[in-house]
Each structure stands twice: as C-alpha cells, then as structure tokens.
C-alpha cells in the first residue's frame, strides 16, 4: 500500500471525503422490508482506512432507517452498479470528466472513467459545491461533505 490517507481527511466535517454510494454487506434492509440497495444519501463518510481499497464507512441504509458502519471495498463503479460490500467515491478530473476512485492514497488517487480510461492524479478536497467543477491543472476534485 502507498502512503495511507491522513486521518484528518476522514469524518463528517466540512471538507472530508464524502462517499458517493455505499452498498451494505447484508442482503436485506435493516428494517427487514426487502432487498438491500445502494445508498446515495448525502453525508455518507469514511471513518478510517484499512488498506488502499478497504475502508470503514459510515452510511445511511438504502431504506433510510438505520445509520450503519461497515468495512467496505472501494470500487470504481457508479452507485447503481455497486453490489454487497462495495462503495464508491466520485472524482471530477481537471478536464471535467467524471471518474470513480479505485484506490486512494495520501496525495494521489487511482481512478476509472465511464469510458474505462484508467489513470492516477493528485487530488484536492474542498467544500461541498466547490468540489463539482474542474480543478486546476492535473488535480482532481474528490466529493466532499
């Protein structure tokens, strides 16, 4: 694993990583009403890092009934394509291309775009709203709370 991400970048404070989509490890929703699905609620966040692809994630269940904390695998997929035990983090590249992180390190992120282009770039964390546009040259903007 490369250098781990600074612990100060995790949590539910302004400017911390925001989880774009999370899919619980269970097969049914916490309230027992049906099959689990991906949660895309705002405010889902990373608690801690286990490896470059494994993170402890705090997220609202898809049915909205329960706040869960589980170790999930970072996957470079759109939220609608996630399966059990996976989560995704969106990044906007310097040319405004939307991509999803496949690995996150302290200063760089490896990503995959919708067109299956693979790459890596430095990233920045800014405030919610400011993270939606293109960043400066060769710097991607990661979704933040």
pLDDT band, very low/low/confident/very high, at 37 (cuts 50, 70, 90): confident
Of the candidate ranges 11-15, 46-50, 68-72, the one whose mean pLDDT is the lowest: 11-15
Q: Is pLDDT of 130 > 60? A: no
- Average pLDDT of the residues in 84-96: 94
Partnered with residue 92 across adjacent β-strands are 98, 141
How many CB atoms neighbour CB 80 within 10 A?
10
With CA atoms as reference, report the closest residue to 95 among 142, 143, 139, 129: 139
- Average pLDDT of the residues in 15-31: 88
d(CA 107, CA 116): 22
d(CA 76, CA 67): 23
CB 33 within 8 A of CB 144: no
d(CA 142, CA 133): 10
d(CA 32, CA 27): 10
* Domain segments of the chain as ranges: 7-142
Q: What is the pLDDT of residue 99?
A: 96
- Average pLDDT of the residues in 49-68: 91
- φ, ψ of residue 40 to 5 degrees: the values are -120, 20
């Amino acid at each position: 694993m490369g250098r781990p991400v600074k612990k100060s970048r995790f949590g539910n404070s302004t400017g911390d990583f925001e989880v774009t989509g999370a899919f619980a490890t269970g097969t049914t929703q916490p309230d027992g009403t049906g099959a689990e699905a991906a949660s895309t609620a705002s405010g889902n966040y990373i608690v801690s890092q286990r490896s470059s692809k494994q993170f402890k994630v705090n997220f609202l269940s898809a049915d909205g009934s329960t706040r869960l904390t589980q170790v999930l695998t970072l996957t470079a997929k759109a939220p609608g394509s996630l399966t059990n035990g996976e989560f995704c983090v969106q990044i906007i590249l310097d040319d405004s291309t939307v991509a999803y992180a496949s690995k996150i390190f302290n200063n760089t992120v490896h990503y995959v775009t919708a067109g299956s282009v693979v790459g890596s770039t430095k990233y920045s964390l800014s405030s919610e709203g400011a993270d939606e546009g293109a960043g400066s040259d060769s710097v991607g903007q990661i979704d933040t709370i």
